[in-house]
Structure 1
Amino acid sequence: MSAFSLSEDLEFAFRLADAAGEAILPFFRNGTAVDNKEAAAFDPVTEADRASEAAMRRLIEQHRPGDGILGEEFDTLPSRNGRGWTLDPIDGTRGFIAGTTAWTVLIAHTRDGLPRAGVIDQPHTGERFFGDGDRAGLSHRGATRTLRVSRTTRLDQALMATTDPYLFQGAEAERFAALRPQLRLVRYGMDAYAYALLAAGGVDLVVESGLKPFDVQALIPVVTGAGGLLTDWRGGPAHAGGQVVAAATPELHAAALDILAPAARRA
Protein backbone atom coordinates (compact mmCIF):
# COMPACT_ATOMS: atom_id res chain seq x y z
CA MET A 1 0.00 0.00 0.00
CA SER A 2 1.25 3.48 -0.80
CA ALA A 3 1.79 5.98 1.96
CA PHE A 4 -0.90 8.59 2.56
CA SER A 5 0.34 12.15 2.04
CA LEU A 6 -1.43 14.32 4.59
CA SER A 7 -2.70 17.78 3.75
CA GLU A 8 -2.28 20.65 6.18
CA ASP A 9 -5.97 20.41 7.01
CA LEU A 10 -5.71 16.74 7.95
CA GLU A 11 -2.55 17.43 9.93
CA PHE A 12 -4.45 20.06 11.91
CA ALA A 13 -7.41 17.72 12.33
CA PHE A 14 -4.98 15.23 13.88
CA ARG A 15 -3.93 17.91 16.38
CA LEU A 16 -7.59 18.43 17.23
CA ALA A 17 -8.07 14.68 17.70
CA ASP A 18 -5.04 14.51 19.99
CA ALA A 19 -6.44 17.33 22.12
CA ALA A 20 -9.86 15.70 22.24
CA GLY A 21 -8.42 12.37 23.31
CA GLU A 22 -6.38 13.95 26.09
CA ALA A 23 -9.52 15.64 27.39
CA ILE A 24 -11.71 12.52 27.17
CA LEU A 25 -9.61 9.62 28.44
CA PRO A 26 -9.45 10.67 32.13
CA PHE A 27 -13.25 10.29 32.19
CA PHE A 28 -13.51 6.96 30.34
CA ARG A 29 -14.59 4.03 32.53
CA ASN A 30 -14.22 6.33 35.51
CA GLY A 31 -17.82 6.75 36.63
CA THR A 32 -18.29 10.18 35.07
CA ALA A 33 -21.62 11.90 35.73
CA VAL A 34 -24.23 11.83 32.96
CA ASP A 35 -26.68 14.63 32.16
CA ASN A 36 -29.74 14.34 29.93
CA LYS A 37 -30.21 17.01 27.25
CA GLU A 38 -33.84 16.15 26.47
CA ALA A 39 -36.83 16.00 28.81
CA ALA A 40 -38.85 13.60 26.65
CA ALA A 41 -36.03 11.18 25.79
CA PHE A 42 -32.57 10.08 26.91
CA ASP A 43 -29.93 12.13 25.07
CA PRO A 44 -26.88 11.85 27.31
CA VAL A 45 -23.97 14.25 27.62
CA THR A 46 -20.99 14.01 29.94
CA GLU A 47 -18.23 16.30 31.11
CA ALA A 48 -16.00 14.39 28.70
CA ASP A 49 -18.14 15.56 25.74
CA ARG A 50 -17.85 19.17 26.85
CA ALA A 51 -14.14 18.97 27.64
CA SER A 52 -13.41 17.37 24.28
CA GLU A 53 -15.19 20.00 22.24
CA ALA A 54 -13.79 22.86 24.33
CA ALA A 55 -10.24 21.60 23.77
CA MET A 56 -10.74 21.45 20.01
CA ARG A 57 -12.39 24.87 19.89
CA ARG A 58 -9.47 26.46 21.72
CA LEU A 59 -7.01 25.18 19.11
CA ILE A 60 -9.18 26.30 16.19
CA GLU A 61 -9.68 29.78 17.61
CA GLN A 62 -5.95 30.09 18.29
CA HIS A 63 -4.51 28.65 15.08
CA ARG A 64 -7.32 29.01 12.52
CA PRO A 65 -8.94 32.39 13.29
CA GLY A 66 -11.76 33.12 10.90
CA ASP A 67 -12.71 29.45 10.50
CA GLY A 68 -16.23 28.57 11.57
CA ILE A 69 -17.11 25.91 14.14
CA LEU A 70 -20.21 23.72 14.19
CA GLY A 71 -20.21 21.49 17.24
CA GLU A 72 -22.67 19.42 19.22
CA GLU A 73 -22.23 20.96 22.66
CA PHE A 74 -21.62 24.69 22.15
CA ASP A 75 -22.91 27.55 20.02
CA THR A 76 -22.05 27.75 16.33
CA LEU A 77 -19.23 30.12 15.40
CA PRO A 78 -19.91 31.49 11.88
CA SER A 79 -17.11 31.28 9.33
CA ARG A 80 -15.54 34.50 8.09
CA ASN A 81 -13.51 32.89 5.30
CA GLY A 82 -15.58 30.00 3.92
CA ARG A 83 -13.61 27.43 5.92
CA GLY A 84 -14.89 25.58 8.95
CA TRP A 85 -14.78 22.64 11.32
CA THR A 86 -17.64 20.32 12.24
CA LEU A 87 -17.07 18.58 15.57
CA ASP A 88 -18.73 15.70 17.36
CA PRO A 89 -16.69 15.52 20.57
CA ILE A 90 -17.94 12.00 21.40
CA ASP A 91 -20.07 10.21 18.85
CA GLY A 92 -21.66 7.31 20.70
CA THR A 93 -21.97 8.81 24.18
CA ARG A 94 -24.27 5.94 25.18
CA GLY A 95 -21.47 3.50 24.37
CA PHE A 96 -18.97 5.73 26.16
CA ILE A 97 -20.91 5.72 29.43
CA ALA A 98 -21.36 1.93 29.13
CA GLY A 99 -17.59 1.48 28.78
CA THR A 100 -17.60 0.09 25.23
CA THR A 101 -15.02 1.17 22.65
CA ALA A 102 -17.43 1.91 19.77
CA TRP A 103 -17.47 5.67 20.51
CA THR A 104 -15.32 8.03 18.44
CA VAL A 105 -14.32 11.66 18.01
CA LEU A 106 -15.52 13.06 14.66
CA ILE A 107 -13.77 15.99 12.99
CA ALA A 108 -14.59 17.38 9.55
CA HIS A 109 -12.85 20.22 7.77
CA THR A 110 -15.33 22.05 5.56
CA ARG A 111 -15.11 24.56 2.75
CA ASP A 112 -18.23 26.50 1.84
CA GLY A 113 -20.19 24.16 4.09
CA LEU A 114 -19.09 20.91 2.43
CA PRO A 115 -16.78 18.36 4.11
CA ARG A 116 -13.40 18.09 2.43
CA ALA A 117 -11.41 16.11 5.02
CA GLY A 118 -12.51 13.92 7.89
CA VAL A 119 -11.16 12.07 10.91
CA ILE A 120 -12.84 9.26 12.87
CA ASP A 121 -10.69 8.84 15.99
CA GLN A 122 -10.88 6.28 18.78
CA PRO A 123 -8.54 7.53 21.53
CA HIS A 124 -8.78 4.43 23.76
CA THR A 125 -7.74 1.94 21.08
CA GLY A 126 -5.48 4.39 19.26
CA GLU A 127 -7.21 3.91 15.90
CA ARG A 128 -7.38 6.96 13.66
CA PHE A 129 -9.32 6.66 10.39
CA PHE A 130 -9.03 9.62 8.01
CA GLY A 131 -9.71 10.65 4.44
CA ASP A 132 -10.00 13.50 1.99
CA GLY A 133 -12.53 12.09 -0.48
CA ASP A 134 -9.80 10.77 -2.79
CA ARG A 135 -7.98 8.45 -0.40
CA ALA A 136 -8.45 7.14 3.11
CA GLY A 137 -6.08 5.75 5.69
CA LEU A 138 -5.79 4.19 9.13
CA SER A 139 -3.10 5.09 11.62
CA HIS A 140 -2.68 2.57 14.44
CA ARG A 141 0.22 1.54 16.68
CA GLY A 142 2.74 3.60 14.77
CA ALA A 143 1.81 2.29 11.32
CA THR A 144 -0.35 3.84 8.62
CA ARG A 145 -2.07 1.98 5.81
CA THR A 146 -4.36 2.92 2.97
CA LEU A 147 -8.00 1.82 3.29
CA ARG A 148 -10.24 0.31 0.62
CA VAL A 149 -13.85 -0.79 0.89
CA SER A 150 -14.93 -4.35 0.17
CA ARG A 151 -16.04 -5.53 -3.27
CA THR A 152 -19.37 -6.89 -2.06
CA THR A 153 -22.14 -6.22 -4.56
CA ARG A 154 -25.01 -8.42 -3.35
CA LEU A 155 -27.25 -7.91 -0.34
CA ASP A 156 -27.24 -11.61 0.50
CA GLN A 157 -23.45 -11.48 0.84
CA ALA A 158 -23.31 -8.20 2.77
CA LEU A 159 -22.70 -7.31 6.41
CA MET A 160 -24.85 -4.34 7.41
CA ALA A 161 -24.53 -2.21 10.54
CA THR A 162 -26.76 0.34 12.21
CA THR A 163 -26.61 1.92 15.63
CA ASP A 164 -30.05 0.75 16.79
CA PRO A 165 -33.01 -0.83 14.95
CA TYR A 166 -35.24 1.52 16.95
CA LEU A 167 -33.79 4.53 15.12
CA PHE A 168 -36.50 3.94 12.54
CA GLN A 169 -40.15 4.90 12.90
CA GLY A 170 -43.24 4.43 10.74
CA ALA A 171 -42.43 3.90 7.06
CA GLU A 172 -38.71 3.91 7.88
CA ALA A 173 -39.17 0.96 10.23
CA GLU A 174 -41.14 -0.90 7.55
CA ARG A 175 -38.38 -0.35 4.98
CA PHE A 176 -35.66 -1.40 7.43
CA ALA A 177 -37.65 -4.52 8.28
CA ALA A 178 -37.83 -5.30 4.56
CA LEU A 179 -34.08 -4.79 4.10
CA ARG A 180 -32.76 -6.62 7.16
CA PRO A 181 -33.68 -10.22 6.19
CA GLN A 182 -31.94 -9.83 2.84
CA LEU A 183 -28.54 -9.28 4.47
CA ARG A 184 -26.07 -12.00 5.32
CA LEU A 185 -25.39 -10.46 8.74
CA VAL A 186 -26.50 -7.39 10.71
CA ARG A 187 -24.64 -5.86 13.64
CA TYR A 188 -25.79 -3.12 16.02
CA GLY A 189 -24.38 -0.55 18.44
CA MET A 190 -21.31 0.75 16.57
CA ASP A 191 -22.38 4.37 15.92
CA ALA A 192 -19.88 6.16 13.65
CA TYR A 193 -17.34 3.35 14.13
CA ALA A 194 -19.40 1.32 11.65
CA TYR A 195 -18.51 3.77 8.87
CA ALA A 196 -14.83 3.46 9.74
CA LEU A 197 -15.13 -0.32 9.45
CA LEU A 198 -16.89 0.10 6.10
CA ALA A 199 -13.92 2.15 4.88
CA ALA A 200 -11.61 -0.60 6.16
CA GLY A 201 -13.47 -3.31 4.22
CA GLY A 202 -15.15 -5.13 7.10
CA VAL A 203 -18.69 -3.71 7.04
CA ASP A 204 -20.36 -3.49 3.62
CA LEU A 205 -23.45 -1.37 4.30
CA VAL A 206 -24.58 1.13 6.96
CA VAL A 207 -28.16 2.41 7.17
CA GLU A 208 -29.25 5.06 9.69
CA SER A 209 -31.72 7.90 10.23
CA GLY A 210 -32.04 10.98 12.41
CA LEU A 211 -28.41 12.06 12.04
CA LYS A 212 -27.25 15.63 12.58
CA PRO A 213 -24.57 17.35 10.48
CA PHE A 214 -21.93 16.73 13.15
CA ASP A 215 -22.84 13.01 13.12
CA VAL A 216 -22.08 12.57 9.43
CA GLN A 217 -19.79 15.20 7.92
CA ALA A 218 -16.52 13.64 9.11
CA LEU A 219 -17.61 10.26 7.74
CA ILE A 220 -18.10 11.35 4.15
CA PRO A 221 -14.43 12.02 3.16
CA VAL A 222 -13.35 8.79 4.87
CA VAL A 223 -15.95 6.53 3.23
CA THR A 224 -15.66 8.09 -0.22
CA GLY A 225 -11.88 8.28 0.08
CA ALA A 226 -11.85 4.50 0.57
CA GLY A 227 -13.95 4.04 -2.56
CA GLY A 228 -17.40 3.80 -0.99
CA LEU A 229 -20.58 5.83 -1.31
CA LEU A 230 -22.44 7.82 1.35
CA THR A 231 -25.74 9.52 0.47
CA ASP A 232 -29.20 10.12 1.81
CA TRP A 233 -31.98 7.59 1.11
CA ARG A 234 -32.81 9.40 -2.15
CA GLY A 235 -29.23 9.07 -3.38
CA GLY A 236 -28.47 12.74 -2.80
CA PRO A 237 -25.97 14.61 -0.60
CA ALA A 238 -25.97 13.60 3.07
CA HIS A 239 -23.85 16.33 4.68
CA ALA A 240 -26.92 17.86 6.36
CA GLY A 241 -27.70 14.58 8.12
CA GLY A 242 -31.09 12.90 8.27
CA GLN A 243 -31.48 9.52 6.55
CA VAL A 244 -28.08 8.11 5.59
CA VAL A 245 -26.91 5.05 3.68
CA ALA A 246 -23.26 4.15 3.13
CA ALA A 247 -22.21 1.29 0.88
CA ALA A 248 -19.03 -0.33 -0.33
CA THR A 249 -20.07 -0.59 -3.98
CA PRO A 250 -22.49 1.11 -6.39
CA GLU A 251 -24.37 -2.16 -6.84
CA LEU A 252 -24.92 -2.60 -3.11
CA HIS A 253 -25.89 1.05 -2.74
CA ALA A 254 -28.47 0.79 -5.53
CA ALA A 255 -29.94 -2.40 -4.07
CA ALA A 256 -30.35 -0.74 -0.66
CA LEU A 257 -31.91 2.40 -2.15
CA ASP A 258 -34.43 0.28 -4.07
CA ILE A 259 -35.79 -0.85 -0.71
CA LEU A 260 -35.29 2.33 1.34
CA ALA A 261 -36.37 4.99 -1.18
CA PRO A 262 -40.13 4.65 -0.55
CA ALA A 263 -39.53 5.98 2.98
CA ALA A 264 -37.09 8.71 1.91
CA ARG A 265 -37.93 12.21 3.08
CA ARG A 266 -37.32 15.32 1.03
CA ALA A 267 -34.76 17.69 2.50
Structure 2
Amino acid sequence: MNPRLEAALAIAKEAGQLTLEYFNKPGLQVEMKQDSSPVTLADTGSEALIRTRIGEQFPGDGMVGEEFGEQLGTSDYVWTIDPIDGTKSFIHGVPLYGVLIAVEDVAGPLIGVVHLPALGETVYAIRDGGAFWERADGDVVPAKVRTTTELTRMSLILTSGFEWATPTMREAFIRGDTMVRTWGDAYAWLLLATGRADAMIDHGIMEYDIAPLRVIIPEAGGAMTVWTPEGRDDLAAVVSTKGLHDTMLSRFKA
Protein backbone atom coordinates (compact mmCIF):
# COMPACT_ATOMS: atom_id res chain seq x y z
CA MET A 1 0.00 0.00 0.00
CA ASN A 2 1.15 3.54 -0.73
CA PRO A 3 2.75 4.84 2.50
CA ARG A 4 0.72 8.05 2.54
CA LEU A 5 -2.52 6.16 1.97
CA GLU A 6 -1.64 3.73 4.75
CA ALA A 7 -0.85 6.66 7.03
CA ALA A 8 -4.01 8.57 6.08
CA LEU A 9 -6.17 5.57 6.95
CA ALA A 10 -4.49 5.02 10.29
CA ILE A 11 -4.54 8.71 11.18
CA ALA A 12 -8.22 9.11 10.24
CA LYS A 13 -9.15 6.18 12.47
CA GLU A 14 -7.08 7.47 15.37
CA ALA A 15 -8.64 10.92 15.04
CA GLY A 16 -12.05 9.30 14.76
CA GLN A 17 -11.47 7.47 18.02
CA LEU A 18 -10.64 10.79 19.66
CA THR A 19 -13.93 12.29 18.45
CA LEU A 20 -15.85 9.39 19.98
CA GLU A 21 -14.56 10.42 23.39
CA TYR A 22 -16.69 13.57 23.02
CA PHE A 23 -19.54 12.23 20.89
CA ASN A 24 -23.00 12.17 22.48
CA LYS A 25 -21.53 13.04 25.86
CA PRO A 26 -23.21 15.53 28.22
CA GLY A 27 -21.55 18.89 28.76
CA LEU A 28 -19.96 19.22 25.32
CA GLN A 29 -18.95 22.86 24.92
CA VAL A 30 -19.81 24.47 21.57
CA GLU A 31 -18.35 27.76 20.39
CA MET A 32 -19.17 29.75 17.27
CA LYS A 33 -16.47 30.75 14.79
CA GLN A 34 -16.36 34.02 12.88
CA ASP A 35 -18.28 32.42 10.01
CA SER A 36 -21.04 31.42 12.48
CA SER A 37 -20.25 27.71 12.18
CA PRO A 38 -19.88 25.66 15.37
CA VAL A 39 -16.64 24.22 16.71
CA THR A 40 -15.90 21.95 19.65
CA LEU A 41 -12.86 20.54 21.40
CA ALA A 42 -13.41 17.42 19.34
CA ASP A 43 -12.88 19.42 16.11
CA THR A 44 -9.71 21.14 17.26
CA GLY A 45 -8.37 18.07 19.05
CA SER A 46 -8.93 15.88 16.00
CA GLU A 47 -7.15 18.28 13.66
CA ALA A 48 -4.28 18.80 16.10
CA LEU A 49 -3.77 15.04 16.31
CA ILE A 50 -3.91 14.64 12.53
CA ARG A 51 -1.34 17.41 12.02
CA THR A 52 0.95 15.91 14.64
CA ARG A 53 0.88 12.48 13.02
CA ILE A 54 1.47 13.87 9.53
CA GLY A 55 4.38 15.95 10.82
CA GLU A 56 5.92 12.93 12.52
CA GLN A 57 5.76 10.74 9.42
CA PHE A 58 6.08 13.25 6.55
CA PRO A 59 7.74 16.36 8.00
CA GLY A 60 8.17 18.05 4.63
CA ASP A 61 4.53 17.84 3.57
CA GLY A 62 2.22 20.83 3.60
CA MET A 63 -1.17 20.88 5.33
CA VAL A 64 -4.44 22.80 5.02
CA GLY A 65 -7.14 22.29 7.62
CA GLU A 66 -10.51 23.71 8.57
CA GLU A 67 -9.52 24.74 12.07
CA PHE A 68 -5.85 25.75 11.84
CA GLY A 69 -5.40 26.96 8.27
CA GLU A 70 -2.40 26.41 6.04
CA GLN A 71 1.06 25.15 6.89
CA LEU A 72 3.48 25.34 3.99
CA GLY A 73 5.72 22.37 3.27
CA THR A 74 8.88 21.66 1.30
CA SER A 75 7.77 18.47 -0.49
CA ASP A 76 5.41 17.97 -3.43
CA TYR A 77 2.60 16.78 -1.14
CA VAL A 78 -0.18 18.73 0.56
CA TRP A 79 -2.68 17.22 3.01
CA THR A 80 -6.19 18.64 3.34
CA ILE A 81 -7.96 18.01 6.64
CA ASP A 82 -11.55 18.26 7.80
CA PRO A 83 -11.34 16.96 11.37
CA ILE A 84 -15.12 16.64 11.72
CA ASP A 85 -17.24 16.97 8.61
CA GLY A 86 -20.71 17.46 10.03
CA THR A 87 -20.06 19.27 13.31
CA LYS A 88 -23.74 20.19 13.58
CA SER A 89 -24.64 16.50 13.38
CA PHE A 90 -21.88 15.70 15.86
CA ILE A 91 -23.06 18.13 18.53
CA HIS A 92 -26.62 16.78 18.29
CA GLY A 93 -25.57 13.17 18.69
CA VAL A 94 -26.22 12.23 15.06
CA PRO A 95 -23.66 9.59 13.97
CA LEU A 96 -23.38 10.73 10.33
CA TYR A 97 -20.25 12.88 10.77
CA GLY A 98 -16.84 11.93 9.44
CA VAL A 99 -13.11 12.57 9.47
CA LEU A 100 -11.91 13.63 6.01
CA ILE A 101 -8.31 13.49 4.84
CA ALA A 102 -6.96 14.07 1.34
CA VAL A 103 -3.51 14.28 -0.21
CA GLU A 104 -2.53 15.94 -3.46
CA ASP A 105 0.75 16.05 -5.36
CA VAL A 106 1.99 17.94 -8.42
CA ALA A 107 -0.33 15.87 -10.63
CA GLY A 108 -3.45 16.74 -8.59
CA PRO A 109 -5.65 14.81 -6.13
CA LEU A 110 -3.87 11.63 -5.07
CA ILE A 111 -5.50 10.13 -1.96
CA GLY A 112 -8.90 10.45 -0.33
CA VAL A 113 -10.19 9.01 2.95
CA VAL A 114 -13.66 9.41 4.47
CA HIS A 115 -13.98 7.72 7.87
CA LEU A 116 -17.22 7.62 9.88
CA PRO A 117 -16.16 6.82 13.46
CA ALA A 118 -19.61 6.33 14.97
CA LEU A 119 -20.64 3.93 12.19
CA GLY A 120 -17.29 2.17 11.81
CA GLU A 121 -17.21 2.60 8.02
CA THR A 122 -14.48 3.99 5.78
CA VAL A 123 -14.22 4.66 2.09
CA TYR A 124 -10.87 5.47 0.51
CA ALA A 125 -9.10 5.69 -2.82
CA ILE A 126 -5.80 6.42 -4.50
CA ARG A 127 -5.43 7.82 -7.99
CA ASP A 128 -5.39 5.03 -10.62
CA GLY A 129 -5.60 2.45 -7.85
CA GLY A 130 -9.34 2.10 -7.30
CA ALA A 131 -11.69 2.92 -4.45
CA PHE A 132 -12.47 0.69 -1.48
CA TRP A 133 -15.08 0.39 1.24
CA GLU A 134 -14.12 -0.90 4.68
CA ARG A 135 -17.41 -2.01 6.15
CA ALA A 136 -18.38 -2.02 9.80
CA ASP A 137 -17.68 -5.77 9.98
CA GLY A 138 -14.09 -5.15 8.87
CA ASP A 139 -14.46 -6.57 5.36
CA VAL A 140 -12.87 -4.48 2.60
CA VAL A 141 -14.59 -4.54 -0.78
CA PRO A 142 -14.38 -2.37 -3.92
CA ALA A 143 -16.36 0.86 -3.67
CA LYS A 144 -18.56 1.24 -6.75
CA VAL A 145 -20.98 4.00 -7.69
CA ARG A 146 -24.31 2.82 -9.11
CA THR A 147 -25.05 2.83 -12.83
CA THR A 148 -28.46 4.55 -12.56
CA THR A 149 -29.40 6.62 -15.62
CA GLU A 150 -33.08 7.48 -15.05
CA LEU A 151 -34.28 10.26 -12.77
CA THR A 152 -37.38 8.29 -11.84
CA ARG A 153 -35.12 5.65 -10.32
CA MET A 154 -32.78 8.11 -8.64
CA SER A 155 -32.20 8.65 -4.93
CA LEU A 156 -30.95 12.19 -4.32
CA ILE A 157 -29.30 13.42 -1.14
CA LEU A 158 -29.17 17.02 0.02
CA THR A 159 -27.20 18.44 2.93
CA SER A 160 -30.18 20.51 4.09
CA GLY A 161 -33.47 21.90 2.80
CA PHE A 162 -34.39 23.85 -0.30
CA GLU A 163 -33.81 27.42 0.89
CA TRP A 164 -30.75 27.74 -1.35
CA ALA A 165 -32.39 26.31 -4.48
CA THR A 166 -33.21 28.33 -7.57
CA PRO A 167 -36.79 28.23 -8.98
CA THR A 168 -35.64 25.71 -11.58
CA MET A 169 -34.25 23.47 -8.87
CA ARG A 170 -37.39 23.70 -6.76
CA GLU A 171 -39.54 22.77 -9.75
CA ALA A 172 -37.41 19.69 -10.30
CA PHE A 173 -37.83 18.66 -6.68
CA ILE A 174 -41.58 19.31 -6.61
CA ARG A 175 -42.16 17.15 -9.69
CA GLY A 176 -41.53 14.19 -7.46
CA ASP A 177 -39.56 12.18 -9.96
CA THR A 178 -36.79 11.55 -7.46
CA MET A 179 -36.54 10.21 -3.92
CA VAL A 180 -35.06 13.09 -1.91
CA ARG A 181 -33.45 12.65 1.50
CA THR A 182 -31.27 14.91 3.66
CA TRP A 183 -28.63 12.49 4.90
CA GLY A 184 -25.94 15.09 4.58
CA ASP A 185 -22.30 15.54 5.50
CA ALA A 186 -19.75 12.75 5.19
CA TYR A 187 -22.40 10.05 5.29
CA ALA A 188 -23.86 11.15 1.97
CA TRP A 189 -20.50 10.90 0.27
CA LEU A 190 -20.01 7.41 1.64
CA LEU A 191 -23.47 6.30 0.49
CA LEU A 192 -22.82 7.56 -3.01
CA ALA A 193 -19.35 6.02 -3.31
CA THR A 194 -20.57 2.63 -2.10
CA GLY A 195 -23.60 2.36 -4.39
CA ARG A 196 -26.31 3.14 -1.85
CA ALA A 197 -27.42 6.47 -3.36
CA ASP A 198 -27.33 7.95 -6.84
CA ALA A 199 -26.62 11.66 -6.48
CA MET A 200 -25.87 14.45 -4.03
CA ILE A 201 -26.08 18.21 -4.24
CA ASP A 202 -24.05 20.14 -1.71
CA HIS A 203 -23.69 23.89 -1.30
CA GLY A 204 -21.96 26.37 0.97
CA ILE A 205 -18.93 24.11 1.15
CA MET A 206 -15.19 24.63 1.16
CA GLU A 207 -12.39 22.60 -0.41
CA TYR A 208 -11.71 20.67 2.80
CA ASP A 209 -15.35 19.43 2.70
CA ILE A 210 -14.87 17.71 -0.64
CA ALA A 211 -11.13 17.15 -1.17
CA PRO A 212 -11.23 13.35 -0.61
CA LEU A 213 -14.11 13.04 -3.08
CA ARG A 214 -11.97 14.37 -5.91
CA VAL A 215 -10.21 11.00 -5.82
CA ILE A 216 -12.83 8.67 -4.38
CA ILE A 217 -15.70 9.47 -6.75
CA PRO A 218 -13.86 9.02 -10.08
CA GLU A 219 -12.08 5.93 -8.79
CA ALA A 220 -15.46 4.49 -7.75
CA GLY A 221 -16.85 5.16 -11.23
CA GLY A 222 -18.85 8.31 -10.56
CA ALA A 223 -18.78 11.92 -11.75
CA MET A 224 -18.25 15.14 -9.83
CA THR A 225 -18.57 18.81 -10.77
CA VAL A 226 -17.57 21.61 -8.41
CA TRP A 227 -18.13 25.31 -9.04
CA THR A 228 -18.33 28.69 -7.33
CA PRO A 229 -21.91 30.02 -7.52
CA GLU A 230 -22.27 33.58 -8.74
CA GLY A 231 -21.86 36.13 -6.00
CA ARG A 232 -20.43 33.67 -3.48
CA ASP A 233 -16.96 32.78 -2.25
CA ASP A 234 -17.77 29.20 -1.27
CA LEU A 235 -18.37 26.16 -3.44
CA ALA A 236 -21.21 23.96 -4.64
CA ALA A 237 -21.00 20.43 -5.97
CA VAL A 238 -23.02 17.88 -7.88
CA VAL A 239 -21.85 14.29 -7.45
CA SER A 240 -23.65 11.42 -9.14
CA THR A 241 -23.54 8.36 -11.33
CA LYS A 242 -22.06 9.05 -14.75
CA GLY A 243 -25.37 8.29 -16.39
CA LEU A 244 -27.19 10.98 -14.41
CA HIS A 245 -24.54 13.66 -14.32
CA ASP A 246 -25.36 15.76 -17.38
CA THR A 247 -29.05 15.81 -16.47
CA MET A 248 -28.23 16.71 -12.90
CA LEU A 249 -26.07 19.63 -14.00
CA SER A 250 -28.71 20.94 -16.39
CA ARG A 251 -31.31 20.93 -13.61
CA PHE A 252 -29.37 21.88 -10.54
CA LYS A 253 -26.20 23.78 -11.41
CA ALA A 254 -26.59 27.50 -10.87
* TM-score normalized by the length of structure 1: 0.86
Structure 1 counterpart of 2:167, which letter? E
Residue correspondence of structure 1 range 47-58 to structure 2 within 5 A: 47-58=41-52
Which of the numbers 122, 128, 131 marks the counterpart of 2:125? 131
Distance 1:154 1:241 in 2: 30
Q: 2-side partners of 1:74 and 1:94: how far apart?
A: 19
Shift of 1:167: 6.2
- Conserved in 1, the CA contact under 8 Å of 2:96 and 2:118? no
1:186 CA displacement: 0.6
| 1:18 Cα offset (Å) | 2.2
Deviation of 1:77 after TM superposition, in Å, equals 0.3
1:104 aligns with 2:95: no
Residue by residue over 1:104-136, the C-alpha shift from the partner in whole angstroms, topping out at 9 and shown as x without a partner, is 000001113832110110112211111124411
Shift of 1:258: 1.1
Structure 2 partner of 1:161: 157
> 1:10: which partner in 2?
5
Q: CA deviation at 1:166?
A: 4.7
Q: Output the CA distance in 1 between the equivalents of 2:97 and 2:154.
A: 23
Equivalent pairs, count:
246
Query: Aligned partner of 2:247: which letter?
Result: A
1:86 and 1:175 mapped to 2: Cα distance? 34
Residues 74 and 113 (structure 1), Cα distance of their counterparts in 2 relative to 1, 3 Å cut: farther
1:59 maps to which of 53, 60, 64: 53
Give, in angstroms, the shift of residue 173 of structure 1: 3.0
- Matched residue, 1:3: none
SS where residue 79 of structure 1 aligns? coil
The match for 1:204 is 198
Instruction: Report Cα offsets for 1:26-54 as digits up to 9, x if no partner.
Output: 10111211111137x4x111000001000
Q: Deviations over 1:152-202 (max 9, x none)?
A: 11112100001112562xxx4324313323542011042121111111111
Match for residue 23 of structure 1 among 18, 22, 26: 18
Q: 1:176 aligns with which of 169, 172, 183?
A: 169
- Percentage identity across aligned positions? 33
- Classify 1:208/1:175 alpha carbon distance in 2 versus 1 (closer, same or farther; 3 Å): farther
SS at match of 2:190: helix
Q: Deviations over 1:229-248 (max 9, x none)?
A: 111259xxxxx961100011
Contact persistence 1:216–1:241 (CA under 8 A): no
Q: In the TM superposition, what is the alpha-carbon distance from 1:260 to its structure 2 partner?
A: 2.6
RMSD: 1.9
Contact 1:34 1:45 in 2 (8 A): yes
**Alignment partners' CA distance in 2, 1:88 and 1:166:** 25
Q: Partners in 2 of 1:210 and 1:167 — Cα distance?
A: 12
1:226-265 equivalences under 5 Å are: 226-232=220-226, 242-249=235-242, 251-261=243-253, 263=254
Structure 1 residues 209-218 or 181-190, which shifts more? 181-190
Aligned to 1:33: 29
Q: 1:55 and 1:184 mapped to 2: Cα distance?
A: 41
Cα 1:74/1:121, change in 2 over 3 Å: same
Instruction: Judge conservation of contact 2:79–2:101 (CA < 8 Å) in 1.
Output: yes
Looking at structure 1, the residues matched to 38 and 109 of structure 2 have their Cα atoms a distance apart, in angstroms, of 26
Per the TM alignment, residue 63 of structure 1 is displaced from its structure 2 partner at its CA by 0.9
What residue ranges of structure 1 are gaps of 5+ in the alignment?
1-5, 235-239
Q: Select which of 118, 124, 146 maps to 2:142.
A: 146
User: Aligned equivalents of 1:96 and 1:214: distance in 2?
Assistant: 17
Consecutive unaligned residues in structure 2, runs of 5 or more: none
Contact 2:96-2:119 at 8 Å conserved across structures? no
Q: Secondary structure of 1:69's match?
A: strand
The Cα of 1:78 is off from its aligned counterpart by 1.2
- Write the deviation string for residues 57-89 of structure 1: whole angstroms up to 9, x where unpaired: 001111101101100001310131120110000
